[in-house]
Structure 1
Amino acid sequence: MAADMLNEEISNDRESVREQSHAEIEYCVLDPTGNITILVTTPVPVELQPRIAAELMWIIPESEQVGFLTHDDSCDIALRMAGGEFCGNASMSAAVYAADKAGAVKSEIVLRVSGSEEPIRAEVEKMSDGSWTGTVNMPRPAKIERVVLPGAGSVPVVCFEGIHHVILEEKIEEARAEEYARMWCRELAADAIGLMFLDRANAKLTPLVYVPSADTICWENSCASGTTAAVAYLASESGAPVRMTLSQPGGGLTVEVSEDGIPRLQGHVRILHYGRTVVTYSSGNL
């Protein structure tokens, strides 16, 4: 397993940051289709992750999300997002990180990811320009249903274990959309919510994601689970397999929903840099 080759990179024997007010954090910054992702390789207790994530996103302002990597004997690598949500782009990024650290140019990686009960399988391959292509078997939606939401009426909602995505085909002013994201997240009792503004005629998607446990709301450059949700909705509407590339601010993501019902995501990832920083926090505020 690739996990055996990562022991020196992610060590559970490192000193815990639980009692520290200054924590030295090692991380990797990746670019999966513009959705800049920080993956922390230093073990961090779950209760500290939202605060550490907020500090890292302040240090690296172009970042849109933070995930935390750990060992898991049942897979190659485990990923927990700061808010405990599921993220397809971060899953692909974690697979690229594992392959890169193992010195592989092509690899199949099995991950445990927050917001998914089942393991996630990813195939990644390094290109001649140093970037990576990846295919991820995404979770099937738990359900796809129409829900009446305040301010929107009856709209499709695609539910995954760790996040609900609302598919919207009419524009909403940005500030109002952010208000709706918070309101609808409570209304749906969701762990996290995405508002996916779908322009099906032009195959475009504009993603807004709100994660209450991490207290983050972001107009993302791309959203893998949101792309999956939109294509899964279109497949359920048509009653037939669908393969579609949706253009987003950071580039295009492709999802295929075939007859077996498993959504498969295809995208690109670049490793931007590895880093180390000291994060200062007050344990009394956590």
Structure 2
Amino acid sequence: MMGGEFCGNAARSLAAYMVYSSYPGLNKIEDKYLVELEVSGAKEMVSCEVLPTQKSNEFCSKINMPLPVSTDEFKFDYENGSLNIVKVELPGITHFIIACDGIKDKQDFFTKFKSELNLDELDAFGLMFYEAHKNFLEPLVYVRETESLFWERSCVSGTTALAYALSYDKKENLSIEVNEPGGKLLVEASWCDGKIKSIKLDGKVTIVAEGTLHI
């Protein structure tokens, strides 16, 4: 990625495009393609499963996500209350899961949160505003290298952080469909022997355009 951060959606999309373009050497098992990728921000190879659909330009692309490096939970005072925040550090990016009920101005919250926690030392981080009653996640991602702040339509690493937090809290397997501005992601967390063994995310990828960029 542009700032060297990890992006799960970029990995899923590349895997789908490789199948779409009949990239040589892909491993096929039954009706699925297994794609191994080297991705910025991830220390190990990232595995994807790509399933073609009846539409030639549409695929179901599942990614086996890198597990968090560390997690933490803390309180953050905002306006007249105290918010419970879950910090999930993933390879290449750190996410903060925030129950956003009662936060009227999320941009203002970001400014205060970044300033008070001195987050400039992080290469990339996301504020994952989560509404549990709607199972709705709204991702806001900041990348230091490019000084960019962007409301993502969908965030795989942020959804991974959310799934990790929910599964760890309940101490059980998790399988939920998370609603995001750009659509839905199915996330599965496997809990075994007192810890999370794996997190996988699945969703549709559509090839909408092709072209040549002259630089």
The unaligned stretches of length 5 or more in structure 2 are none
Q: How much is the aligned-residue C-alpha RMSD, in angstroms? A: 2.1
Matches of 1:245 and 1:96, distance apart in 2: 20
- Corresponding residue SS for 1:217: strand
SS at match of 1:259: strand
Residue 100 of structure 1 aligns with which residue?
20
- Does residue 122 (structure 1) correspond to residue 66 (structure 2)? The answer is no
Q: 1:118 to 1:149 in 2, by over 3 A?
A: farther
Do the aligned residues in 2 keep the contact of 1:146 with 1:157 (CA within 8 Å)?
yes
In the alignment, residue 13 of structure 2 is paired with which amino acid? S
CA contact (8 A) 1:185 1:191 kept: no
The aligned counterpart of 1:138 is: 65
Q: 1:111 aligns with which of 22, 26, 37?
A: 37
Instruction: Return closer, same or farther for 1:118/1:185 CA change in 2, 3 Å cut-off.
Output: farther
Q: Hey, what does 2:146 align to over in structure 1? A: 214
Are 1:177 and 2:112 counterparts?
A: no
Number of equivalences: 199
Deviation at 1:175, TM superposition (A): 2.5
TM-score for both structures, normalised by structure 2: 0.84
1:131-190 deviation digits (Å, cap 9, x = unpaired): 110111001111111145574655110110211111110235132134246437843732
- Looking at secondary structure, tell me which structure has more strand per residue: 2
Structure 2 distance, partners of 1:235, 1:246, is 14
* CA–CA distance in structure 1, aligned partners of residues 34 and 43 of structure 2: 19
Letter in structure 1 aligned against 2:123: D
1:83 aligns with 2:10: no
Q: Once the 2 structures are TM-superposed, how far is the Cα of residue 241 of structure 1 from its aligned partner?
A: 1.1
Counting only pairs closer than 5 Å after superposition, residues 229-240 of structure 1 correspond to structure 2 as: 229-240=161-172
Contact 1:99/1:106 (8 A) holds in 2: no
Which whole-Å deviations, capped at 9, do the CAs of 1:96-122 have from their partners, x for residues lacking one? 122122268841100011111111100
Higher helix share: 1
Percent identity, aligned pairs only, is 32
CA 1:268–1:181 in structure 2 vs 1: closer, same or farther (change >3 Å)? farther
TM-score by length of 1: 0.64
Q: Which whole-Å CA distance do the structure 2 matches of 1:229 and 1:144 have between them?
A: 9
Q: Which of the pair has the greater relative contact order for Cα pairs under 8 Å at 6+ separation?
A: 1
Structure 1, gaps ≥5 residues long: 1-80, 280-286
CA distance in 2, matches of 1:94, 1:182: 32
